[in-house]
């Protein structure tokens, strides 16, 4: 792992026992992601994108391999330790927003701050909502907000603790084109503003073009890597055991 | 857990509670009902006991009571007692009241001018004054009970005969202050002047009459000290001396026992309510899975999430429990209003913290026990389900162990407290074990039924297929429906079958073996004429007469009776006076188990034959002695034989029988039984009452009617309690059906999209609910019948009969109730528009 790397995956395999056979979801992922960079993960449905995201966020345990985030190895942490690690280091934006319906926008954003014991949690949350343009919606419940507004609250919740990495899983999947566009703009602006690392799962190649790197994942393997900002990072895979193949354009 | 996390949990719990109450209606009803019953029963019982204790002297009729059989106090004894306070004398005896064409057995109370020393004798009209009972013209006065007035069709001013004297009805009793002091009364009551007894033939040597002398103590006299003083001054007297703490003791015992039973039923209702708690929590947390996963993603630990939701649930539970405690705590006010007519005491109201704390403890325990498992399961849900709903690993068994340990620990604590607080610990333990067993069997049967439904070859008809698969599909309500309704129905079926068999046994025995009449107070000089009548009267099938006296055991094997070691089944023999007889011939239904019966012409020293129960309970062997006080004389008697006999044969049986010589010259009366043809009973009763007005005649048919009526009243109150358990179960059933409501609505929408008509959908759901009702009813019928069988055969030792109407009623009730509540859900499901439902489901 280089000094610049905030995330390192080594030989990540994920398998489930199905009713009649074993289901292989990830088949040997190796990956380094630099601090402060933005990475898009593209791939068809069932390729393993969400599974990869759940592993790097500590929400699921890999069958084998190693995950290191911000210098911490996640492999032997228990569930509570992973939850605390997420609280202190990660911001997660999900496709279906997943706001807590019984809390206002302000309270939703304040949750990770309150969990961390921050005394000025409400003030920080208010500032975060201001950043996403929702100062006028502090006391509204999720049911009173539009889809775009709910996603903005989710974004504010993710960035408010000033995390080292932001993960976004299809953040515009449930939004119309115009709204989705604005959301993506917002995410990237915030990423630059707070200088965090961004890892985004998306179907949209146009959205992916905004990122520093694009990873194509298929059948549980990273089959192509493209860097928008520099030479291809093929040298990172030279010692990998996994096979690679070009994705037909 | 650190302070930050604890504060977070509290904050999140309060926020989550904003809209949570609507999800917890059945949860709150279940807890409220159980809490209110237990708190109410405990408070009412304590209130009645306290009120009785406070007014003990009203129940007793004085501060102190000295009583004995067949003898009044001597003058010097009266003089001695008079120095301590006001003395009042009351005599209690049984007699026959005669009007022109009818007669009735009467429990007679003869009172003096000082009666009542405490409390008031209330009449239906007018006010009681002692002068009402005095002789006016040819008639003495009598105040009768409303039962006697109804029995002989009497009104104020009417006349009747008691013994050889004529009495005029001068009032009808509304409330008698010391009525409960006499214990169980065989016949309706009447009050006459004590002086009238001495103009009457009612008192004869050997008559069964007991004299009660009550003292209203002067200021500053302590009843305990006076009792000791009396025993010191009159050591030879076999008086029974009671103070006001004994007043109403029997009633207090009865109230306490009823209270215990009702508390157990309340606990059963609470346990059924626990199923509702579990359902409500599960349904609520099902809706919260995304929130729980979100908390985990944002950094919430398992402990924080557990505390958040447990705190929220306990907060809601507290509301329901508080309401239940307030309702239960205020119940004595309502109970006092209802009971003030029947009990001669002032019902005050007070808070009974012990009853309320106990109810709160039980309710919180049930709430936590039934919440922890579904909560633990929800907390263990992996957060990754937000990314991948279809494939998510279930929590390992190790993660469930802490929850299992806490639930088990709480359950054990709850059981221990319930048993410890009960007066009848063995009975309570058996009841709890039975309830737990019933729960487990219901759960097992429900699980088995689901497995069977899964294995049945899939029906060709899609409607039947849907109905059958709804029973075992994920999220089914089968367990909840079976558990909620099942326990109440088991209780109801058991009670109904026990009542049926009890009544049948009483009626069969009485009509088969029992005599038609019991006769008391047959004087020596009436005996021959009496037996001649019975022997010659057509319709009399058999009769038997036996000499009868009253006596009290004072010593067992030379140890004073109050200190003698006695097993519980024999204690009644040493309590008060008992019937004693003497006979040369061993009665036909008695079997000698030890020693030898005396010869018919026995002429030796006094000896006694005792019952096997007496011998076993007091460890008495042949040649051991007992001392019996008969007519103020002590007889120390060696035991020459021990007999066994069956009390249930309704024959005249005696625990103690003396040899034919010892009491031959004593003043005694005869008792008798006679069996007559049913069609001749009324006429024989009338003839005997007219021919022998002084003889008390007890008709078994009337006793049976009274016993059946009493059983009916008791069973009515038991039925009410069983009904409460069922109501609790119905509330839970409604909740269980409602919990599946959303799924039912969605299913109906999808079925409509694929072409099912409303009638098709209706059929599927009706079949599903009928199947569930049949399953629950069948299990309840089997378990209820089994429970009743065990009680009838092994506890009551009676013959067993299974009438078909009761089990059929159980199954029918189950189907109807399940269908009725299901129909509400079905109706709502059918009315929803598919487009709206499907749109909401995908967004």
Tens-digit pLDDT profile for residues B613-660 = 999 999 999 999 999 998 888 999 999 999 998 776 667 889 999 999
Asked which of B506-510, B546-550, B599-603 is least confident by mean pLDDT, the reply is B506-510
Count CB-CB contacts under 10 A for residue B404. 13
Contact A53 B300 (CB under 8 A): no
C-alpha–C-alpha distance, residues B689 and B98, integer Å: 8
Q: Which two tokens stand for residue B781?
A: 């019928």
Strands in A221-227's sheet, in edge-to-edge order, are A90-93, A165-169, A197-201, A38-42, A213-218, A221-227
Where helices occur in B561-653 by DSSP H, the ranges are 571-574, 612-618
Neighbour-count burial for B324-356, b at 16+ CB within 10 Å, e otherwise: bbebbbbbbeebbeebeeebbbebeeeebeebb
| Shortest alpha-carbon distance between residue B458 and chain A (Å) | 22
Position B511 scores a pLDDT of 64
Q: Is the pLDDT of residue A249 over 70?
A: no
Name, in order, each residue with C-beta under 8 angstroms of B121's C-beta and a sequence gap of 6 or more.
B115, B128, B143, B173, B175, B176, B177, B191
A94 touches chain B (CB under 8 A): yes
% of chain A beyond a pLDDT of 70: 89
Note the pLDDT tens digit of each residue in A176-192: 888 888 899 999 998 88
Residues of B in contact with A102 (CB under 8 A): 15-20, 291
The ipTM estimated for the assembled molecules is 0.79
Position B165 scores a pLDDT of 87
Averaging pLDDT over each range in A107-121, B372-386, B709-723, which range is the top one?
Answer: A107-121
Q: Is the pLDDT of residue B561 over 50?
A: yes
Position B52 scores a pLDDT of 78
Averaging pLDDT over each range in A230-234, B42-46, B193-197, which range is the top one?
Answer: B193-197
Helix (H, G, I), strand (E, B), or coil: what is residue B798? coil
Count CB-CB contacts under 10 A for residue B785. 19
Q: Is the pLDDT of residue B506 over 80?
A: no
Q: Which two tokens stand for residue B90?
A: 């009351």
C-alpha–C-alpha distance, residues B795 and B136, integer Å: 56
| Shortest alpha-carbon distance between residue A115 and chain B (Å) | 6
A120 touches chain B (CB under 8 A): no
B381 touches chain A (CB under 8 A): no
Termini Cα distance of chain A: 31
Is the distance from CB of B142 to CB of B162 less than 8 angstroms? yes
Q: What is the mean pLDDT of chain A?
A: 85
Note the pLDDT tens digit of each residue in A144-171: 999 999 999 999 999 999 999 999 999 8
Helix (H, G, I), strand (E, B), or coil: what is residue B111? strand
Note the pLDDT tens digit of each residue in B90-123: 999 888 899 988 888 899 999 999 999 998 899 9
A134 touches chain B (CB under 8 A): no
Q: Residue A95 — pLDDT band, cuts 50, 70, 90?
A: confident
| Shortest alpha-carbon distance between residue A240 and chain B (Å) | 28
Phi and psi dihedrals of B116, rounded to 5?
A: -90, 145
Helix (H, G, I), strand (E, B), or coil: what is residue B174? strand
Residues of B in contact with A88 (CB under 8 A): 299
E strands in A99-182: 165-169
Asked which of B146-150, B242-246, B406-410, B605-609 is least confident by mean pLDDT, the reply is B242-246
Contact B302 A117 (CB under 8 A): no
Asked which of A215-219, B691-695, B782-786 is least confident by mean pLDDT, the reply is B691-695
Identify which of B321, B380, B328 has the alpha carbon closest to the alpha carbon of residue B351.
B328
Residues of A in contact with B284 (CB under 8 A): none
C-alpha–C-alpha distance, residues B323 and B262, integer Å: 20
Contact A79 B302 (CB under 8 A): yes
Position B575 scores a pLDDT of 80
Residues of B in contact with A93 (CB under 8 A): none
Length of chain B measured in residues: 843
A19 touches chain B (CB under 8 A): no
C-alpha–C-alpha distance, residues B237 and B240, integer Å: 9
Q: Is the pLDDT of residue A124 over 50?
A: yes
State the count of interchain CB pairs (< 8 A) between A and B: 85
C-alpha–C-alpha distance, residues B707 and B179, integer Å: 19
Position B206 scores a pLDDT of 65
Find the mean pLDDT for residues A113-138: 92
B304 touches chain A (CB under 8 A): yes
Find the mean pLDDT for residues B69-80: 89
Q: Residue A235 — pLDDT band, cuts 50, 70, 90?
A: very low
B421 touches chain A (CB under 8 A): no
Note the pLDDT tens digit of each residue in B698-729: 888 777 777 777 777 777 777 777 777 788 88
Contact A51 B387 (CB under 8 A): yes
C-alpha–C-alpha distance, residues B798 and B814, integer Å: 29
Is the distance from CB of B212 to CB of B110 less than 8 angstroms? no
Contact A59 B384 (CB under 8 A): yes
B652 sits in the region (left: phi over 0; alpha: psi -120 to 50; else beta) called: beta
Is the distance from CB of A197 to CB of B338 less than 8 angstroms? no
B19 touches chain A (CB under 8 A): yes
Position B835 scores a pLDDT of 64
Note the pLDDT tens digit of each residue in A53-65: 889 998 888 999 9
Residues of B in contact with A105 (CB under 8 A): none
Q: Is the pLDDT of residue B799 over 50?
A: yes
- Which is more confident, B385 or A67? A67
Contact B297 A53 (CB under 8 A): no
Position B393 scores a pLDDT of 46
Q: Is the pLDDT of residue B44 over 90?
A: no
A88 touches chain B (CB under 8 A): yes
* DSSP-derived secondary structure letter, A75: T
Position B79 scores a pLDDT of 93
Asked which of A48-52, B225-229, B423-427 is least confident by mean pLDDT, the reply is B423-427
Position B182 scores a pLDDT of 66
Name, in order, each residue with C-beta under 8 angstroms of B74's C-beta and a sequence gap of 6 or more.
none
In Å, how far are A137, A154, A156, A178 from A149, measured between CA atoms? 9, 9, 10, 13
Beta bridge partners of A201: A41, A169
Name, in order, each residue with C-beta under 8 angstroms of A36's C-beta and a sequence gap of 6 or more.
A6, A195, A196, A197
C-alpha–C-alpha distance, residues B739 and B732, integer Å: 10
The partner residue sitting opposite A98, judged by closest CB among B16, B302, B386, is B386
Helix (H, G, I), strand (E, B), or coil: what is residue B237? coil
Find the mean pLDDT for residues B466-493: 84
Position B332 scores a pLDDT of 85
Position A246 scores a pLDDT of 33
The partner residue sitting opposite B301, judged by closest CB among A83, A96, A98, is A83
Is the distance from CB of A105 to CB of A129 less than 8 angstroms? yes
* DSSP-derived secondary structure letter, B132: G
C-alpha–C-alpha distance, residues A186 and A155, integer Å: 9
Q: What is the mean pLDDT of chain B?
A: 85
Q: Residue A1 — pLDDT band, cuts 50, 70, 90?
A: very low
Contact A111 B297 (CB under 8 A): no
C-alpha–C-alpha distance, residues B111 and A33, integer Å: 107
pTM for the model stands at 0.75
> For tokens 């009626």, what's the residue?
B507
Establish how many alpha carbons lie within 13 A of residue B35's alpha carbon, considering only the half-sphere containing its beta carbon. 28
Position B184 scores a pLDDT of 63
The sign of the dihedral angle between the CA atoms of B731, B732, B738, B744 is negative
Find the mean pLDDT for residues B446-469: 85
**Chain B residue with Cα closest to A80:** B301
Contact B293 A98 (CB under 8 A): yes
Termini Cα distance of chain B: 37
| Shortest alpha-carbon distance between residue B485 and chain A (Å) | 34
Count CB-CB contacts under 10 A for residue B508. 14
In Å, how far are A108, A141, A143 from A146, measured between CA atoms? 15, 10, 8
Count CB-CB contacts under 10 A for residue B388. 16
A101 touches chain B (CB under 8 A): yes
Where helices occur in B396-477 by DSSP H, the ranges are 397-421, 425-455, 462-472
| Shortest alpha-carbon distance between residue A55 and chain B (Å) | 9
């Amino acid at each position: 792992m280089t000094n610049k790397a905030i995330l390192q995956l080594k030989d990540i395999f994920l398998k489930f026992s199905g009713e009649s056979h074993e289901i292989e979801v990830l088949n040997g992922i190796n990956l380094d992601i630099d601090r402060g960079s933005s990475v898009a993960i593209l791939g068809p449905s069932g390729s393993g994108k969400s599974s990869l995201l759940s592993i790097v966020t500590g929400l699921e345990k890999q069958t084998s391999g190693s995950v290191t985030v911000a210098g911490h190895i996640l492999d032997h942490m228990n569930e509570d330790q992973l939850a605390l690690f997420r609280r202190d280091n990660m911001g997660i934006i999900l496709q279906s927003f997943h706001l807590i319906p019984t809390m206002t926008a302000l309270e939703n954003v304040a949750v990770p701050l309150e969990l961390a014991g921050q005394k000025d949690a409400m003030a920080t949350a208010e500032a975060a909502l201001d950043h996403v343009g929702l100062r006028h919606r502090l006391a509204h419940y999720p049911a009173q907000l539009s889809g775009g507004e709910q996603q903005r609250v989710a974004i504010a919740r993710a960035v408010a603790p000033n995390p080292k990495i932001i993960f976004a899983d299809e953040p515009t999947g449930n939004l119309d084109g115009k709204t989705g566009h604005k959301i993506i703009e917002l995410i990237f602006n915030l990423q630059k503003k707070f200088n965090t690392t961004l890892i985004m799962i998306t179907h949209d190649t146009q959205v992916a073009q905004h990122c520093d790197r694009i990873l194509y994942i298929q059948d549980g393997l990273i089959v192509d890597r493209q860097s928008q900002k520099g030479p291809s990072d093929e040298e990172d895979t030279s010692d990998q055991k996994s096979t690679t193949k070009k994705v037909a354009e | 857990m650190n302070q930050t996390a604890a504060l977070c949990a509290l904050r999140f719990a309060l926020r989550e509670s904003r809209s949570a109450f609507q999800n917890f209606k059945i949860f709150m009803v279940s807890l409220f009902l159980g809490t209110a019953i237990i708190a109410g029963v405990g408070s009412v019982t304590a209130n009645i006991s306290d009120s009785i204790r406070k007014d003990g002297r009203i129940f007793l009729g004085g501060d102190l009571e000295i009583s004995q059989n067949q003898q009044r106090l001597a003058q010097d004894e009266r003089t001695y007692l008079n120095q301590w306070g006001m003395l009042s004398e009351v005599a209690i005896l049984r007699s026959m009241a005669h009007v022109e064409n009818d007669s009735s057995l009467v429990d007679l109370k003869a009172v003096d001018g000082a009666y009542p020393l405490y409390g008031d004798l209330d009449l239906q009209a007018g006010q009681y004054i002692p002068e009402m009972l005095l002789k006016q013209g040819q008639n003495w006065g009598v105040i009768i009970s409303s039962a006697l007035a109804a029995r002989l069709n009497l009104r104020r001013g009417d006349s009747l005969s008691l013994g050889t004297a004529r009495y005029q009805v001068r009032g009808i009793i509304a409330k008698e202050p010391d009525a409960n002091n006499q214990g169980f009364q065989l016949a309706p009551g009447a009050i006459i002047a004590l002086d009238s007894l001495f103009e009457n033939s009612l008192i004869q040597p050997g008559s069964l009459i007991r004299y009660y002398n009550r003292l209203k103590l002067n200021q500053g006299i302590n009843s305990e000290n006076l009792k000791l003083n009396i025993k010191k001054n009159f050591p030879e007297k076999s008086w029974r001396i009671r103070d006001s703490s004994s007043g109403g003791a029997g009633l207090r015992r009865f109230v306490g026992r009823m209270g215990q039973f009702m508390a157990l039923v309340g606990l059963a209702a609470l346990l059924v309510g626990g199923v509702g708690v579990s359902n409500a929590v599960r349904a609520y947390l099902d809706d919260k899975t995304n929130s729980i996963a979100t908390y985990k993603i944002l950094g919430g630990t398992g402990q924080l999430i557990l505390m958040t939701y447990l705190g929220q649930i306990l907060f809601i539970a507290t509301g329901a429990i508080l309401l239940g405690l307030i309702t239960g705590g205020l119940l004595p006010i309502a109970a006092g209003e209802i009971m003030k007519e029947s009990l001669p005491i002032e019902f005050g109201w007070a808070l009974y913290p012990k009853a309320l704390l106990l109810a709160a403890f039980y309710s919180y325990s049930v709430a936590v026990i039934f919440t922890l498992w579904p909560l633990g399961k929800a907390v263990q849900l992996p957060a990754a389900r937000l990314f991948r709903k279809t494939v998510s690993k279930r929590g390992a068994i190790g993660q469930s162990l802490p929850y299992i340990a806490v639930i088990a620990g709480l359950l054990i604590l709850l059981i221990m407290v319930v048993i410890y607080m009960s007066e009848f610990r063995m009975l309570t333990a058996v009841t709890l074990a039975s309830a737990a067993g019933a729960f487990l069997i219901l759960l097992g049967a429900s699980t088995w039924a689901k497995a069977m439904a899964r294995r049945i070859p899939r029906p060709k008809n899609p409607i039947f297929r849907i109905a059958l698969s709804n029973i075992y599909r994920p999220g089914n309500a089968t367990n909840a429906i079976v558990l909620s309704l099942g326990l109440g129905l088991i209780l109801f079926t058991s009670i109904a079958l026990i009542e049926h068999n009890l009544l049948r046994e009483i009626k069969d025995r009485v009509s088969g073996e029992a005599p038609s009449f019991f006769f008391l107070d047959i004087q020596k000089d009436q005996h021959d004429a009496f037996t001649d009548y019975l022997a010659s009267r057509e319709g009399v099938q058999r009769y038997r007469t036996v000499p009868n006296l009253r006596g009290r055991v004072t010593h067992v094997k030379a140890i004073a009776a109050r200190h003698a070691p006695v097993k519980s089944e024999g204690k009644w023999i040493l309590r008060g006076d008992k019937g004693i007889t003497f006979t040369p011939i061993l009665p036909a239904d008695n079997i000698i188990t030890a020693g030898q019966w005396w010869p018919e012409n026995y002429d030796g020293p006094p000896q006694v034959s005792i019952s096997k129960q007496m011998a076993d309970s007091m460890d008495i062997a042949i040649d051991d002695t007992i001392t019996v006080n008969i007519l103020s004389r002590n007889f120390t008697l060696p035991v020459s034989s021990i007999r066994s006999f069956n009390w249930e044969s309704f024959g005249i049986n005696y625990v103690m029988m003396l040899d034919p010589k010892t009491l031959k010259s004593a003043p005694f009366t005869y008792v008798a039984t006679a069996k007559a043809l049913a069609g001749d009973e009324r006429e024989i009763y009338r003839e005997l009452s007219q021919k022998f007005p002084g003889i008390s005649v007890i008709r078994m048919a009337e006793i049976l009617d009274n016993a059946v009526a009493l059983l009916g009243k008791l069973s009515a109150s038991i039925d009410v309690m069983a009904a409460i358990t069922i109501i609790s179960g119905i509330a839970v059933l409604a909740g269980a059906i409602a919990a599946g409501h959303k799924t039912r609505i969605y299913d109906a929408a999808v079925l409509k999209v694929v072409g099912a008509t409303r009638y098709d959908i209706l059929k599927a759901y009706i079949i599903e609910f009928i199947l569930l009702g049949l399953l629950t009813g069948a299990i309840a019928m089997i378990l209820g019948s089994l429970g009743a069988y065990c009680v009838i055969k092994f506890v009551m030792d009676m013959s067993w009969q299974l009438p078909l109407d009761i089990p059929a009623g159980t199954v029918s009730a189950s189907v109807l109730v399940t269908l009725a509540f299901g129909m509400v859900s079905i109706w709502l499901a059918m009315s929803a528009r598919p487009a709206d439902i499907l749109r909401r489901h995908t967004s």
